[in-house]
Amino acid sequence: MVRNYPEIPRKEPASTSEAGDGEKAAPRGPPEKASIDVKHVILILSGKGGVGKSTVAVNLAYALSSQGRQTGLVDLDIHGPNVPLMLGLEDHQLMTDGTGLVPVRMTGTLQVISMGFLLGKRSDPVVWRGAIKAQVIRQFLSDVRWGPLDYLIVDLPPGTGDEALTIAQVAPNVRGAVIVTTPQDVATLDSTKAISFVEKMHIPVLGVIENMSGFSCPHCHGEIDLFGSGGGERIARDHQVPFLGRIPVDIRMREAGDEGHPFVGKKQDSPSWRAVESIMARLIGIVEES
C-alpha cells in the first residue's frame, strides 16, 4: 500500500556549460505526450475557486460511466483534492502492483486518481513547486494502470497555472475544455481568462456552464438570483462558444457532495437535477457527435 507521495524522478536540466565549450544547449521542444490509452480527454476549468468545478467534474464522470463508458477521473487539484470526499472514497489509498499505481475503482466503469489518496491525513498540506507537480501529473497519466478508457475527465485547480499548462501539453487526445462559472461579474471576469488560455493552447472550448444560477425559495417558491443571472451565457456568447446551461442552487447538491454521492446519480424531480442531467447529455452529444 502506498502511504507516501509517489516517487518523483529528479533530474536537473542540462546547463549551457554541460553542452560543451562554445556550444549552447539545444532548445527544448514541446513535452512528450504521456502514454495512456484514452479516446477523449476533457478538461474542467474555472477562473476562480468556489464555483462548483469539482461538482461538475464528478457528476460528468459519473454520468459517463453510468452509460457504460470506461471513464477515468483525475483530480489535479494537488493542493486541495476534494474528489475523494465527493465520491465517498476518503478511506481509500492507492495500491501498487509492481508495474504501476492501481487507480481506485468506484464502479466497474469509473476509476479515480487523486492526491488525496496519498495523504496520511486530510489536513496534510502538499508543498510543491511547479516542476515537481508537472512530474506528478505525468505520473498520474502514464504510471497508472488505467487500461483502455473512453473518457478521462480532468478536474483542474482554479486558474491557469502549472497544472492546467502541463495537462494541456502532455495529455493525448484532448477533446476540449468545459468552463464552469457563477453568474456574477467577479467570477465571469476570471472565467474569460480561462477561455482565453484554452484558446491559446489550441484546445476547443466545449462549452460554458453557469452554476449557482438562481435559487428557488422553499417557503414562498419564488426565484431569487443570489449571484445574479446570465453571466455565463454572456461570456459564452461573447467568445462564440456553446452555452451548456444553468444549474440552480440546490441544498441537495451540496449534501450529495458532502455525503459522497454524485448528485446526478440520485434521480429526483427538481430543477437542479433536470439541469445537471440535461447539461451532461448535451456535453456528451457535443463530444461524440462531432
The pLDDT tens digits for 57-89 are: 999 999 999 999 999 999 999 999 999 999 999
49 occurs within a structural domain: yes
21 occurs within a structural domain: no
24 occurs within a structural domain: no
Alpha-carbon distance 108 to 169, whole Å?
A: 29
In a 10 Å sphere around its CB, with 0-12 CB exposed, 13-18 middle and 19+ buried, how is residue 286 labelled? middle
- Percent of the chain at pLDDT > 70 equals 90
In this structure, the number of other CB atoms found within 10 A of the CB of residue 218 comes to 7
Please count the structural domains in the chain.
1
In this structure, the number of other CB atoms found within 10 A of the CB of residue 169 comes to 17
Interval 95-145: pLDDT, tens: 988 889 999 999 999 999 999 999 988 889 999 888 999 999 999 999 999
Alpha-carbon distance 113 to 96, whole Å?
A: 13
Alpha-carbon distance 6 to 220, whole Å?
A: 52
255 occurs within a structural domain: yes
Strands (E), the chain: 38-45, 71-75, 95-96, 101-102, 104-107, 110-114, 149-155, 174-181, 205-216, 223-224, 243-249
Average pLDDT over the chain reads 88
Q: Give the CATH number, domain containing residue 149.
A: 3.40.50.300
4 occurs within a structural domain: no
Residue 215 pLDDT level (bands cut at 50, 70, 90): confident
50 occurs within a structural domain: yes
Alpha-carbon distance 66 to 60, whole Å?
A: 10
Alpha-carbon distance 43 to 64, whole Å?
A: 14
Alpha-carbon distance 209 to 11, whole Å?
A: 40
- Please tell me whether residue 211 adopts helix, strand or coil conformation: strand
DSSP state of 38: E
Q: What is the mean pLDDT of residues 257-280?
A: 89
Dmax (CA) for the chain in angstroms is 79
Angle, helices 53-66/251-259, rounded to nearest 10 degrees? 70
Q: What is the mean pLDDT of residues 145-165?
A: 95
Distances (CA, A) of 173 to 33, 205, 245, 289: 10, 14, 25, 16
2 occurs within a structural domain: no
Q: What is the pLDDT of residue 182?
A: 95
Residues of the domain holding 44: 35-289
66 occurs within a structural domain: yes
- Please tell me whether residue 152 adopts helix, strand or coil conformation: strand
Grid cell, residue 15, equals: 546547463
Alpha-carbon distance 266 to 280, whole Å?
A: 14
Interval 3-59: pLDDT, tens: 444 444 444 433 333 444 555 555 567 789 999 999 999 999 998 899 999 999 999
173-177, 209-213, 264-268: segment of lowest average pLDDT: 264-268
CA 114 centroid distance within chain: 11
